[in-house]
């Protein structure tokens, strides 16, 4: 299959071309403010099956339905979720996914057999134009091969999906670079996956908000995942990723020692550094991620950096940070990419 790329900035027909494919049951990769999604008609179970095939995704991992208007979410849930109106008015359109009991309209393929469904309204104009032109909610996971870092540019999508899907809509680099915050509204509101909408921001609206224990820890053997996506190897490049969490100077000293050890074994190491620690690495090969002052900058570079360094390094040595605000989303993705190989100093 030939994969066409259309720019959403320069081609006003791009959304219509995408919608034609979606309505015919095909797949379209499209930009959102978080990461690129791989979309299909979310009301057509057979179309949704093709997403799992193209990604090589385990079919017990449910998908998010994307809507163009707030009101469209209520068709997909069985009744109105508690707090939903306030959350939607505060954070939609934006990187917040809400989970509640599903309605009969939602095919089993979307929810992987669960009795709940995840819904979000993206802040990307290009994404909403595609959904609106399609006239159906669009089911979309991140547009990477299952297990790989999520794509934050159209180029990344092609690295994984070229020849597997008919169309990529190119809207340039994604603003946030990590996937949406996933919040369950069944029972006590619980964050299943952290993102740019932080626990602190949600607590300001909800009062109490719980964190799923699997956010920073691997699941224990036999433990059931609240969010099935949490149980798989995730975001991992082929290169080995090692994480050191500590103050800038101490972390840089430890990572430099690891780097020199790998170099002595003839391995190509590369350091992913924060601005604060960058001066302490000497002439070792480093890539700048962003600043500890604002972990959002680290989030927005992480996946792109893992992809870029993958072909240039055998080992990626990465600084970890604290888990306040968007530091939690950063550490959630980084620890998975590292297979939880982490040292706390
Ligand atoms: O920002 C995003 O959310 C991106 C863009 C494309 O919108 N999408 C995305 O989709 O990250 P995906 O499939 O890669 O991640 C969805 C996560 C998975 O961890 C999945 O297990 C969880 O949401 N999820 C979906 N439906 C669920 C449900 N009913 N109950 C619990 N977890 C659910
Ligand atoms: Mg994903």
In angstroms, what CA-CA distances link 135 with 118, 132, 176? Answer: 18, 5, 26
Ligand 2 center to 206 CA (angstroms) = 26
- Determine how many CB atoms are found less than 10 A away from the CB of residue 91: 22
> Is 71 or 236 the better-scoring residue by pLDDT?
71
Quote the mean pLDDT of the chain. Answer: 95
Strand partners, 242: 317
- Name the percent of the chain lying above pLDDT 70: 96
224 — pLDDT class (breaks 50, 70, 90):
low
DSSP code of 241?
E
In angstroms, what CA-CA distances link 269 with 18, 20, 321? Answer: 41, 46, 20
Ligand 1 center to 266 CA (angstroms) = 39
Q: How far apart are CA 10 and CA 288, in angstroms?
A: 31
Which is the closest atom of ligand 1 to the Cα of 102?
29
What is the pLDDT at residue 238? 85
Tell me the per-residue pLDDT of 143-188, one tens digit each, with 9 for 90 and over. Answer: 999 989 999 999 999 999 999 999 999 999 999 999 999 999 999 9
Ligand 2 center to 262 CA (angstroms) = 31
CA-closest residue to ligand 1 atom 3 = 180
What is the pLDDT at residue 221? 62
The three-class DSSP label of residue 244 is strand
Ligand 2 center to 280 CA (angstroms) = 34
Q: How far apart are CA 23 and CA 255, in angstroms?
A: 50
Q: Ligand 1: which of 141, 168, 171, 214 to mutate, judged by most atoms within 8 Å of the beta carbon?
A: 141
Tell me the per-residue pLDDT of 28-55, one tens digit each, with 9 for 90 and over. Answer: 999 999 999 999 999 999 999 999 999 9
235 — pLDDT class (breaks 50, 70, 90):
confident
Ligand 2 center to 21 CA (angstroms) = 22
222 — pLDDT class (breaks 50, 70, 90):
low
Q: In 3D, which of 9, 127, 4, 6 has the Cα closest to residue 65? A: 127
Which is the closest atom of ligand 1 to the Cα of 228?
21
What is the pTM (predicted TM-score) of this model?
A: 0.95
Ligand 2 center to 322 CA (angstroms) = 23
Tell me the per-residue pLDDT of 318-336, one tens digit each, with 9 for 90 and over. Answer: 999 999 999 999 999 999 9
* DSSP per-residue string spanning 177-218: -SPPEEEE-SSS-EEEE--SS-HHHHHHHHS--EE-GGGSSP
- Determine how many CB atoms are found less than 10 A away from the CB of residue 43: 19
Report phi then psi at 276, rounded to 5. -65, -30
> Is 63 or 222 the better-scoring residue by pLDDT?
63
Ligand 1 center to 253 CA (angstroms) = 37
Asked if pLDDT for residue 232 goes beyond 60, the answer is no
Q: Which residues line ligand 1 (CB under 6 A)?
A: 32, 34-35, 37, 61-64, 95, 97, 99, 111, 114, 116-118, 140-142, 179-180, 182, 192-193, 227-229
* DSSP per-residue string spanning 66-135: E-SSGGGGGGTBSSPPTTHHHHHHHH-SSSEEEEEEB-TTS-HHHHTT-SEEEEE--S-HHHHHHHHHHT
Answer for the pair 289, 297: CB distance below 8 angstroms, yes or no.
yes
Answer for the pair 66, 37: CB distance below 8 angstroms, yes or no.
yes
Residues 6+ apart with CB under 8 A from 244: 251, 254, 255, 258, 317, 318, 319, 320, 342, 343, 345
Q: Which ligand is nearest to the CA of 179?
A: 1
* DSSP per-residue string spanning 268-312: -EEEEEETTTGGGGTTS-EEEEE-TT-HHHHHHHHHHHHHHHHTT
Q: Which ligand is nearest to the CA of 182?
A: 1
CA-closest residue to ligand 1 atom 32 = 227
- Which contiguous run of DSSP H or E holds residue 320? strand 315-320
59 — pLDDT class (breaks 50, 70, 90):
confident
121 — pLDDT class (breaks 50, 70, 90):
very high
Q: How far apart are CA 33 and CA 117, in angstroms?
A: 21
Which two three-digit tokens encode residue 241? Answer: 């990723």
């Amino acid at each position: 299959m030939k994969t066409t790329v259309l720019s959403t900035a320069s081609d006003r027909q791009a959304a219509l071309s995408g919608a034609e494919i979606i309505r015919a049951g095909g797949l379209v990769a499209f930009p959102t403010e978080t990461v690129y999604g791989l979309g299909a008609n979310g009301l057509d179970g057979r179309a949704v099956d093709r997403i799992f095939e193209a990604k090589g995704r385990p079919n017990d991992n449910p998908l998010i339905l994307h809507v163009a208007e707030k009101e469209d979410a209520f068709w997909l849930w069985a009744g109105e979720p508690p707090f939903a109106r306030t959350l939607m008015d505060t954070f939609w359109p934006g990187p917040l996914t809400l989970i509640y009991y599903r309605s009969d309209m939602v095919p089993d393929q979307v929810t992987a057999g669960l009795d709940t469904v995840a819904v979000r309204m993206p802040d990307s104009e290009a994404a909403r134009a595609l959904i609106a032109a399609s006239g159906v909610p669009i089911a979309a996971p991140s547009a990477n091969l299952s297990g790989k870092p999520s794509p934050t540019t159209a180029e990344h999508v092609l690295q994984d999906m070229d020849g597997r899907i008919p169309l990529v809509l190119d809207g340039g680099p994604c603003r946030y670079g990590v996937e949406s915050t996933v919040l369950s509204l069944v029972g006590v509101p619980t964050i299943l996956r952290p993102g740019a909408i932080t626990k602190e921001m949600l607590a300001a609206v909800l009062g109490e908000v719980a964190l799923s224990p699997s956010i920073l820890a691997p699941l224990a053997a036999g433990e059931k995942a609240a969010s099935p996506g949490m149980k798989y190897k995730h975001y991992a490049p082929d290169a080995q990723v090692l994480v050191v969490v500590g103050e800038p100077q101490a972390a840089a000293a430890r990572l430099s020692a690891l780097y020199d050890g790998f170099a002595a074994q003839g391995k190509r190491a590369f350091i992913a550094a924060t601005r604060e620690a960058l001066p302490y690495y000497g002439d070792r090969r480093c890539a700048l991620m962003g600043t500890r002052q604002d972990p959002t900058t680290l989030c927005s570079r992480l996946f792109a950096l893992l992809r870029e360094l993958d072909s240039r390094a055998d080992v990626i040595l990465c600084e970890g940070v604290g888990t306040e605000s968007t530091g939690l989303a950063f550490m959630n993705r980084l620890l998975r990419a590292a297979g939880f190989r982490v040292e706390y100093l």
